[in-house]
Structure 1
Amino acid sequence: MSSQDAVGTTREALTTLAAAVLRVRNEYGDTLGVRRLTSDVDRLQADLDELGTPAPGHRPDVAPRELLEIPDAPYDESMWQDAQSEAQHAP
């Protein structure tokens, strides 16, 4: 999903949320809770408007060439030959 798709999807969700909050306002009236919900939706919309373009070098997904495959085979026991157990250092 591109950043434009993500922003568009978020805008659609906020539009749906704003409509739901309006229905709550119609049901509950102009209460403190409703005013806070309305303010929260407005703040989210303003934050979304201020996003701009993604930061240079930002990579939302890891490229397959950067993944390191870790085999399921057991480790070579000699790898732990000189290691000390944490239990040996406990007071």
Structure 2
Amino acid sequence: MSLKDELTDLQQCLDRLDRTVLRVAAEVGDSLEIRRIRTDAAHLRESVALLGAPTPAAGAGGPPRVELITIPDAPYDSALWTDSDDEGLGARDRHAP
């Protein structure tokens, strides 16, 4: 069988599952478990639809390229930290209570 045939068969199984869940829900009522089964079945249906969707060509529509920024190993200018607090120690001009 081809992939398309397999996905069609899977769709039919999901249709049968939906009908069965409706019949069971009519007997036991709309409980938390039935709602979870419906949600899970909907997720399965979405996943099957994604499997059947055409895949984009390589490089087209893929994730955007991220520009890498090189950070030098040279020490930072100490003037950047003159008015900063040391994490966990508090301000330099105050004492702990």
TM-score (norm 2): 0.53
Pair 1:2–1:53, CA change in 2 (3 A): farther
What is the Cα deviation at residue 23 of structure 1?
Answer: 0.6
The structure with the largest helix share of the pair is: 1
Between the aligned partners of 1:9 and 1:53, the Cα distance in structure 2 is 18
Please identify runs of 4+ aligned residues in structure 1 that moved more than 6 A: none
Q: Which residue of 2 aligns with 1:49?
A: 49
Deviations 1:45-90, CA, capped at 9 Å, x for gaps: 0111111247xxxxxxxxxxxxxxxxxxxxxxxxxxxxxxxxxxxx
Between the aligned partners of 2:18 and 2:28, the Cα distance in structure 1 is 15
| Secondary structure, counterpart of 2:30 in structure 1 | coil
Between the aligned partners of 1:37 and 1:43, the Cα distance in structure 2 is 10
Between the aligned partners of 1:4 and 1:53, the Cα distance in structure 2 is 11
* Aligned residue pair count: 55
Q: Which has the larger radius of gyration?
A: 2
What do you get for the CA RMSD once the two structures are aligned?
A: 1.6
**Structure 2 stretches lacking a partner, 5+ long:** 56-97
Give identity over the alignment, percent.
Answer: 33
